[in-house]
């Protein structure tokens, strides 16, 4: 469960007793300690869940939350590096975060959103941060992948473009749901994408991305555990029943006995493979590897990797070329898979592989941070899920 998910779940429980204050990171820059979407909830009795900064400005946000519970008015505040005043509230990391604090009551639909997130449904919450009409600030929409589920009644005066704005924000939220992106959108008060005046924050929750491990080898057990730790929905598949059992892979969400290429075909046909899916082929046996990789490398997935020595990789490339794969398709293959960490054990190898997956997904270099420049927590997400950052 992410920081945002923890805060959302706690808020949905606590709001049953009395309104709560929900603080959400809606913007970041530099080496910010949390991504946009991170949240903290403060109950009227002082209970706290979640985090917006990892500790740097939590006390100040709690003060804002208590004030918001009293006034009912949303508050938007930016926290940065307080270099001029050692006693001022700031981020020691040198980054900046923008935090929205809102009072949330029982009738605000928070429980429904939390229930959807817990069930693994795709849902987005759009919150207006800036609007020429101050009454519209804090207005929220709840959007799923197909329909506008809940909007406030026509809060804006007739002729204000409220309908066009709601439709525009809904469309943008649905587009961001498709990629799992969370971030800020801009448009005009009437919804025009070529105008300005309205800034809204879109927070998305999507089902966890899939990690498909093909090959029930010893390394797959550690790989499944590491993948689950990172929030992936993990499947282990192999055609050999003796090796492919739940007892051998307790961390996998499902263990499937089938030929890997046939399993991939069935999942594609069922619509369960998407642009966030990670496919790792661990068998290093041509009988499994070639038909499986022939299919995987032609799918619009996030990552395809195959285990094996450099010699195995060279031989496999020749077999894949013979099977008709193009140079562009073969360039998508990560093999030998993983980063050079000097890994030896299955657990170390799993970290090496997951590190490469994270680097590919987030646009990282794979180099030591001490050898790189720029923000440590860069907002460079390519494909995200719950809590990922993309500014639109």
Confidence of residue 293 (pLDDT cuts 50, 70, 90): very high
Q: What is the predicted pLDDT for the residue at 390?
A: 33
What's the mean pLDDT in 254-270?
Answer: 96
What's the rounded Cα separation, in Å, for the pair 252 and 214?
A: 12
Higher pLDDT, 154 or 271: 271
What's the rounded Cα separation, in Å, for the pair 279 and 305?
A: 6
Cβ neighbourhood burial of 16 (10 Å; 0-12, 13-18, 19+): exposed
Confidence of residue 377 (pLDDT cuts 50, 70, 90): low
What's the rounded Cα separation, in Å, for the pair 125 and 38?
A: 13
Cβ neighbourhood burial of 164 (10 Å; 0-12, 13-18, 19+): middle
pLDDT tens, position by position, 223-258: 999 999 998 999 999 999 999 999 999 999 999 999
| Average pLDDT in the chain | 83
Burial readout 135-144 (b: 16 or more C-beta within 10 A, e: otherwise)? ebbbbbbbbb
Q: What is the predicted pLDDT for the residue at 327?
A: 94
What's the rounded Cα separation, in Å, for the pair 380 and 179?
A: 14
pLDDT tens, position by position, 317-357: 999 999 999 999 999 999 988 999 998 898 999 999 999 99
Higher pLDDT, 277 or 91: 277
Confidence of residue 3 (pLDDT cuts 50, 70, 90): low
Q: What is the predicted pLDDT for the residue at 385?
A: 39
What's the rounded Cα separation, in Å, for the pair 352 and 354?
A: 6
Least confident among 120-129, 219-228, 314-323 = 120-129
What's the rounded Cα separation, in Å, for the pair 80 and 14?
A: 30
Which residues have a Cβ under 8 Å from the Cβ of 270 and sit 6 or more positions away? none
Residues 164, 170: contact at Cβ < 8 Å?
Answer: no
Phi, psi of 246 (to 5 degrees): -65, -30
| Angle in degrees, CA 366, 253, 114, rounded to 5 | 90
Whether the predicted pLDDT of 117 surpasses 90: no
pLDDT tens, position by position, 55-89: 678 888 999 999 999 999 888 988 876 544 433 44
What's the rounded Cα separation, in Å, for the pair 52 and 162?
A: 31
What's the rounded Cα separation, in Å, for the pair 93 and 116?
A: 34
Whether the predicted pLDDT of 211 surpasses 80: yes
Q: What is the predicted pLDDT for the residue at 55?
A: 67
Cβ neighbourhood burial of 34 (10 Å; 0-12, 13-18, 19+): buried
Return the top range by mean pLDDT from 167-176, 185-194, 202-211, 251-260: 251-260
Confidence of residue 53 (pLDDT cuts 50, 70, 90): confident
Whether the predicted pLDDT of 159 surpasses 70: no
Percent of the chain predicted with pLDDT > 90: 45
The pTM (predicted TM-score) of the whole model is 0.70
- Of 358, 341, 347, 337, the closest CA to residue 221 belongs to 347
What's the rounded Cα separation, in Å, for the pair 264 and 373?
A: 40
CA dihedral (304, 308, 310, 311) in degrees, to 10, reads -120
Q: What is the predicted pLDDT for the residue at 371?
A: 74
What's the mean pLDDT in 94-98?
Answer: 77
Residues 253, 235: contact at Cβ < 8 Å?
Answer: yes
Q: What is the predicted pLDDT for the residue at 181?
A: 85
């Amino acid at each position: 469960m992410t920081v945002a998910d923890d805060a959302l779940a706690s808020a949905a429980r606590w709001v049953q007793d009395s309104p709560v204050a929900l603080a959400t990171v809606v913007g970041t820059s530099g080496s910010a300690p949390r991504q946009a979407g991170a949240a903290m909830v403060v109950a009227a009795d002082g209970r706290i869940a979640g985090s917006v900064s990892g500790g740097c400005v939590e006390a100040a946000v709690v003060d804002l939350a208590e004030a918001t519970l009293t006034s009912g008015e949303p508050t938007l505040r930016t926290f940065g590096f307080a270099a001029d005043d050692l006693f001022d509230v700031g981020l020691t990391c040198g980054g900046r975060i923008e935090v929205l604090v809102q009072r949330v009551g029982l009738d605000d639909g928070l429980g429904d959103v939390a229930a959807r997130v817990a069930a693994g449904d795709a849902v987005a919450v759009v919150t207006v941060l800036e609007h020429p009409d101050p009454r519209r600030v804090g207005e929220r929409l709840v959007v799923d992948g197909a329909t506008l589920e809940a909007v406030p009644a026509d809060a804006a005066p007739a002729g204000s473009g409220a309908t066009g704005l709601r439709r525009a924000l809904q469309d943008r939220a649905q587009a961001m749901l498709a990629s799992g992106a969370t971030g800020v959108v801009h448009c005009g008060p009437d919804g025009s994408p070529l105008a300005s005046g309205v800034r809204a924050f879109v927070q998305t929750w999507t089902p966890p991305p899939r990690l498909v491990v093909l090959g029930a080898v010893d390394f797959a057990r550690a790989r499944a555990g590491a993948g689950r730790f990172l929030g992936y929905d993990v499947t282990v598949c192999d055609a050999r029943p003796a090796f492919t059992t739940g007892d051998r892979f307790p961390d996998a969400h499902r263990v499937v006995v089938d030929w890997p290429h046939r399993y991939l075909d069935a999942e594609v046909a069922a619509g369960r493979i998407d642009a966030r899916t990670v496919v790792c082929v661990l068998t290093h046996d041509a009988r499994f590897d070639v038909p499986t990789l022939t299919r995987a490398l032609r799918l619009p997935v996030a990552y395809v990797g195959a285990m094996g020595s450099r010699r195995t990789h060279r031989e496999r490339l020749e077999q894949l070329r013979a099977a008709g794969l193009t140079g562009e398709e073969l360039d998508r293959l990560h093999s030998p898979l993983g980063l050079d960490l000097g890994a030896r054990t299955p657990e170390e190898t799993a970290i090496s592989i997951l590190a490469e997956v994270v680097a590919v997904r987030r646009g990282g270099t794979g180099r030591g941070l001490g050898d790189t420049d720029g923000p440590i927590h860069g907002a460079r997400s390519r494909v995200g899920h719950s809590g990922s950052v993309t500014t639109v």
